[in-house]
Structure 1
Amino acid sequence: MTDLTQTQVRERIAARLASRHRKEKLFRGLGIASIAFGVLAVLVLFTDIISKGASAFVQADIQLQVTYDPAELGIDKVDDESLAWANFDGVIRAALRERFPDVSGRQDKRELYSLVSNGAGFELRERLQNHPELLGQTETLWFNADDDVDTYVKSLSRTEEGFLGRTSEQKALWIQELRTSGELKKRFNTTFFTNGDSREPEQAGIRAALVGSLFTLLVTLVLSFPIGVAAAIYLEEFAPKNRWTDVIEVNINNLAAVPSIVFGLLGLAIFINFFEMPRSAPLVGGLVLTLMTLPTIIISSRASLKSVPPSIREAAMGMGASRMQVVLHHVLPLAMPGMLTGAIIGMAQALGETAPLLMIGMVAFIVDVPHGITDPSTVLPVQIFLWADSPERAFVERTSAAIMVLLAVLITMNTCAVWLRKKLERRW
């Protein structure tokens, strides 16, 4: 009877072990499936963004032989007043008529003139202003093609007929002729990195948004890092453990989970409405993002201070160092790698924020590159938001390209944080 009971016990134990092993395998399989699904989702996202945005880094350009004819320009000398009224668009149109002399009729000429971007005249003005000796001379230059032409040319590499869109069949024939003669080529799109925003896709760039993001992050870093580190040092090293410090700690943890748009409303109410600071300025954007990133920096800084062994403090105090000397000379240098890592992660989070900056007016249409923290500007996430809402087909690829640039910056910042942590951290 006893042997039979032991056999039954062993069978039950074996059954339970088998059930436990099956559950473990199921749990492990679910974990692997979750990771695989996440990786697949990221790959699909990156593939979609790259496939749409890679073409934005090249631009269809048209070569024209332009003549700075004083009669066509309507000027007889090169100065600021004359250049302001000069007919540079007429010079571009004359070059197009010379290239296609058989074109006649008002409608056909209008189609012909739309081959080149309407920003070509501004390029000519800038060139003649920098080189006054070109007046009356002829030279060969490359100009950005219109966004419809650019879209059609890029689509030819994917399909034989291409996507005509708003491009007429007659214009498609002219494009094929220019491609055959080598007068229309796809070249690296420097405009995307040197220009600010524009209503015309072929003239739109991210330089103003990048500079605005740089100024905004600079203000955020200058304000949030010293304040966050000082608050963490006080709470961790000097503040008494009582009800008030507990309330402060709970509120700091809660602020880290507050939606970012709430900080935008706070900045709108205080910095703009009460203090009457300028809208759409990196200074205000930096103040708002400082409020948003302070909890992250404080929490990470406190965690870094806690990671320093108590023996360091005890040894320093045993040698006669004051509490302040212990913190500044021994604890803080050892905790600084973790603090810097938290600050970089906080800056990366601030770089990707859009909602709080929309509330303080950084959604404005900004063409000029800002030169200071009080100049009107926008940031890269807001620029992406604006382009995503544009109806032109050419803005789709520029939106994806701007996302690629933003992701590259964010990945670089997070990689630097990981590298800095590995490089400077000490194991106890």
Structure 2
Amino acid sequence: MKRKKKNKQHNPFYDPTLKSRHTSAKRFKRFTLTSLIFSITFLAFFLFDMIVKGLPAFNVAYIKVDVTFNEKSLDDTRFAVPKEYRDIVSRAWLRDINKLVEKNPSYMNTTQNMWVLADDQVDQYLKGHNYKLKENEQVFVDELNSNGLIEKKFNTVFFTNGDSKIPEYAGIFSSVIGSILTLIITMAVAFPIGVMTAIYLEEFAGDNKFTRFIEININNLAAIPSILFGLLGLAIFINLFGMPRSSPLVGGLTLALMTLPIIIVSSRAALRAVPDNIRQAGYGLGLNKIQVTRDHVLPLAFPGILTGSIIGLAQAMGETAPLIIIGMIAFIPDAPTMVTGAATVMPAQLFTWAGMPEGMYIEKTAAGILVLLTILISLNAIAIYLRKKLEVKW
């Protein structure tokens, strides 16, 4: 044994720290694997919790009731349904019975047996959640349910209505339209400016103090908290230029400021990935720098530019903090028709719903998160598909 130890010590290739380094490598490997498992577990738990809480929101209770359409019931909706149903059907649905008459004039001065949206407490009671029904109302609801006069149907109200103070009548339609208008403004401003800035810095600008100063500031802007862009939008677009508060125009311009650094950095990386022999071949054919960049470099870099832009758009869609600062968290029941009208966006509306005490708002918040996640995943999938589709093999 002593001879063996001596041979190891005199072996020129023997490293006395080899065992400890192997141990450290194994320890590091276990640590990274544990971190990966922890991250996947947390993500799976988050998705499972959102699905469990959000799926019930896609179904809502309806009650079959005799609805009376006459001047008295249209003037006072309490007389539209029998007295015993007044506390278990949706007040918001009853307020809109005049719209049913406008669509179906033959309903006037008749009594129609139809499915009526139930009150949120009835819906929560049937789903086994927290509810505030009186004992006699519970007995009545159970009797209706046993007779087949209550059904859970797909919640079209969630997708066709705007926000509402009445839980069962609240939907995401107005926030979706507001998000679309805001993102159109964002991309219309950020994409051309960001791509042109990246082309100038990468292809035309010289290596001097001015360009280095711009590059440092762009990289710093990509890392600052998003709420600061909201303060910047409030100071410039609302206070300085007097643009309408809570509008998609201001929201889109604010998110454009936030998205610009991401588009610039990703576009520069895509341009830098184009081999120099492409440029040299163009110069060899007698093309100038603008022609080489426009006709050869930019088409090859476009898939990467598009991918970075879509990812930046997806990040902007999930932002809430800067939009809260400029007032896009206001209660907006109607969908905006212009970019200067008052609007809200999906993240801001979900933030508002999350603070509501009613149980139906909790499940609608989770359902809205599922819808938003679906949109964001779809945008990332589109970015990957377009990159693969437009990718050119050099």
TM over 0.5: yes
Q: 1: CA distance between counterparts of 2:253 and 2:78?
A: 44
Q: 1: CA distance between counterparts of 2:258 and 2:60?
A: 39
Alignment-derived partner of residue 79 in structure 2? 90
Alignment-derived partner of residue 251 in structure 2? 285
Q: 2: CA distance between counterparts of 1:215 and 1:396?
A: 26
Alignment-derived partner of residue 158 in structure 1? none
SS of 2:14's partner is helix
Could you say if the C-alpha distance between residues 33 and 4 of structure 1 is closer, same or farther in structure 2, counting changes exceeding 3 Å?
A: closer
Alignment-mate amino acid for residue 46 of structure 2: L
Q: 1:424 aligns with which of 376, 390, 394?
A: 390
Q: 2: CA distance between counterparts of 1:11 and 1:201?
A: 78
Alignment-derived partner of residue 219 in structure 1? 185
SS of 1:280's partner is coil
SS of 1:222's partner is helix
Contact 1:50 1:400 in 2 (8 A): yes
Q: 2: CA distance between counterparts of 1:362 and 1:130?
A: 33
Could you say if the C-alpha distance between residues 426 and 27 of structure 1 is closer, same or farther in structure 2, counting changes exceeding 3 Å?
A: farther
Note the C-alpha offset of 1:142: 1.1
Could you say if the C-alpha distance between residues 3 and 152 of structure 1 is closer, same or farther in structure 2, counting changes exceeding 3 Å?
A: closer
User: Could you list the per-position Cα deviations for residues 4-36 of structure 1 after superposition, in whole angstroms to 9, with x for gaps in the alignment?
Assistant: 743334599376333322222211111111100
Aligned length: 393
Alignment-derived partner of residue 342 in structure 1? 308
User: Could you list the per-position Cα deviations for residues 372-407 of structure 1 after superposition, in whole angstroms to 9, with x for gaps in the alignment?
Assistant: 211111000000010011111211101111111111
User: Could you list the per-position Cα deviations for residues 169-212 of structure 1 after superposition, in whole angstroms to 9, with x for gaps in the alignment?
Assistant: 11111111111111111110000000000001100000000010
1:266 matches 2:232: yes
Note the C-alpha offset of 1:65: 1.6
1:322 matches 2:295: no
Q: 1: CA distance between counterparts of 2:92 and 2:104?
A: 19
1:137 matches 2:126: no
Note the C-alpha offset of 1:44: 0.8
Alignment-mate amino acid for residue 9 of structure 2: Q
Note the C-alpha offset of 1:89: 3.1
Alignment-derived partner of residue 105 in structure 1? none
The alignment's C-alpha RMSD in Å is 1.8
Contact 1:53 1:399 in 2 (8 A): yes
Alignment-derived partner of residue 149 in structure 1? 122
Where does the alignment leave 5 or more consecutive residues of structure 1 unmatched? 74-82, 98-108, 156-162
Q: 2: CA distance between counterparts of 1:25 and 1:32?
A: 10
1:234 matches 2:223: no
Q: 2: CA distance between counterparts of 1:374 and 1:411?
A: 29
Where does the alignment leave 5 or more consecutive residues of structure 2 unmatched? none
Alignment-mate amino acid for residue 119 of structure 2: D
Alignment-derived partner of residue 38 in structure 1? 39
Q: 2: CA distance between counterparts of 1:356 and 1:424?
A: 34
Alignment-derived partner of residue 97 in structure 2? 124
Give TM-score, length-normalised by structure 2. Answer: 0.96
Alignment-mate amino acid for residue 79 of structure 2: G
Q: 1:184 aligns with which of 140, 150, 155?
A: 150
Q: 1: CA distance between counterparts of 2:133 and 2:157?
A: 23
Q: Which residues of 2 match residues 15-414 of structure 1 at below 5 A?
A: 16-70=17-71, 72-73=72-73, 86-92=75-81, 96-97=82-83, 112-155=85-128, 163=129, 165-414=131-380
Percent same amino acid among aligned pairs? Answer: 48
Alignment-derived partner of residue 13 in structure 1? 14
Note the C-alpha offset of 1:303: 0.3
Alignment-mate amino acid for residue 356 of structure 2: S
Alignment-derived partner of residue 103 in structure 1? none
Q: 2: CA distance between counterparts of 1:328 and 1:264?
A: 35
Give TM-score, length-normalised by structure 1. Answer: 0.88
Contact 2:93 2:169 in 1 (8 A): no
Contact 1:88 1:125 in 2 (8 A): no
Alignment-mate amino acid for residue 44 of structure 1: F
Could you say if the C-alpha distance between residues 188 and 290 of structure 1 is closer, same or farther in structure 2, counting changes exceeding 3 Å?
A: same
User: Could you list the per-position Cα deviations for residues 141-178 of structure 1 after superposition, in whole angstroms to 9, with x for gaps in the alignment?
Assistant: 111111111100111xxxxxxx5631111111111111
